[in-house]
Amino acid sequence: MWCEPGSPALPASVQPEVCGLNAYLRNHGIAPTRVPSEDGRKAALYASVGPDCAGGVVLSGHTDVVPVVGQDWHSDPFVVREANGRLFGRGTCDMKGFDALALAAFVQASKRDLKRPLQIALSYDEETGMTGAPPMIDHMCAHGMTRAATVIVGEPSMLKVVTGHKGGFGYQVHVRGHEVHSSLMHEGVSAVMIAADLVHWANVMNAHSAAATPTETAAEFIPSYTTIHVGTINGGTAHNITARDCRFEIDFRVLPDENHDEWKALFQAEIARLQDRMRAVHPNTFIDAFQDFGVAGLAPETDGAAEALVRRLTGKNSSNVVSYLTEGGLFQGVGYSTVVCGPGDIAQAHQPNEYITLEQFRQGEAFMGRLVDALCE
């Protein structure tokens, strides 16, 4: 699960030694591919076992976790502690528990007579903007193994089958007005009042979206429409001065069957319209919108192969959509059939004294066992 900008804990995420993982797999005779970050300080890793043919399954996880700074932990967050039927530790739920189960199953699968490949894909920086997965997925598609049919993203879902979530993107907006005494406000441009126009635009769009008839996909979500939200706003210096600067943060949560670029174009068109009005008063005014995140949504698939597989493995014949964001949409975006399904409860993610129950962990292990068996059929 990704912790969005504006959420409490957001310093750089923590990534353990992926080289340790690299060595672990090599010791088992598996040759993983590392995809380093631009600065070379982190790496994503993917690997495949079994025959190089179509019909494979990817187990997708992330290796970073959110920080523990400022949280009240009752034991070392980076040493797993078992107590009361629970495994405590940072990432036990989101999502080192799944990663461990996937790696164990992966090594076991390498010794089995697989008829279709099992692949593993572990990203970095999922929690801080999902920047590690895109180059890894590109690499998998361009240089890697035969494209797998399905992807299982192991974010905690209590092993329920999750077929969809909204996507999202956000901007930090800076409105630069022109300062005059408020008695002469016709000669000035109030950055606060222009920002208010943009906030009002968000309200109007929300009302319009709420009134529209939802599509079949939209109807699965609560609320069943794309929402635009302004979380912070700050501007002006005095009641009698037209504000020179105003800054606010605006987020879009977009239905997975809608196009992010179309929403961005609507927003930019409104910015352009307001900017024309500002510049008719004073040329040095502007509105600058800096996009600080963007995550693809996961759209429920019609007769999706991943959903069918995971329903079979879990014995569950219902599917859910969720409100958190995952890397699933990135895989789906390049053509993989994708679902989210992993052990543990998302409610424990990012919390102090994060845990996964042993019961969920064992169910996850059984799930992996059934998956490996299915790949041998």
Question: Which residues lie near Zn ion (CB under 5 A)?
Answer: 1, 94-95, 155
Least Å from the CB of residue 338 to Zn ion: 15
Per residue in 352-372, is it b (16+ CB within 10 Å) or e — as a string? ebbbbbeebbebbeebbbebb
> 255 or 340: whose CB is closer to Zn ion?
340
> 65 or 246: whose CB is closer to Zn ion?
65
Least Å from the CB of residue 152 to Zn ion: 14
> 1 or 45: whose CB is closer to Zn ion?
1
> 4 or 94: whose CB is closer to Zn ion?
94
Edge to edge, the sheet with strand 355-357 lists 81-83, 86-88, 355-357
> 217 or 360: whose CB is closer to Zn ion?
360
Least Å from the CB of residue 94 to Zn ion: 4
Distance of CA 205 to the CA centre of its chain: 24
Check whether the bond before 256 is cis (ω within 30° of 0).
no
Nearest CA to 189 among 273, 274, 272? Answer: 274
Contacts of 323 (CB under 8 A, 6+ apart): 165, 166, 222
Least Å from the CB of residue 102 to Zn ion: 13
Helix (H) or strand (E) holding 293: strand 286-295
Least Å from the CB of residue 126 to Zn ion: 6
Nearest CA to 52 among 119, 4, 109? Answer: 119
> 155 or 251: whose CB is closer to Zn ion?
155
Distance of CA 70 to the CA centre of its chain: 23
Least Å from the CB of residue 326 to Zn ion: 7
Give the Cβ contact number of residue 229 at 10 Å: 14
**Calpha distance 174→370 (Å, rounded):** 53
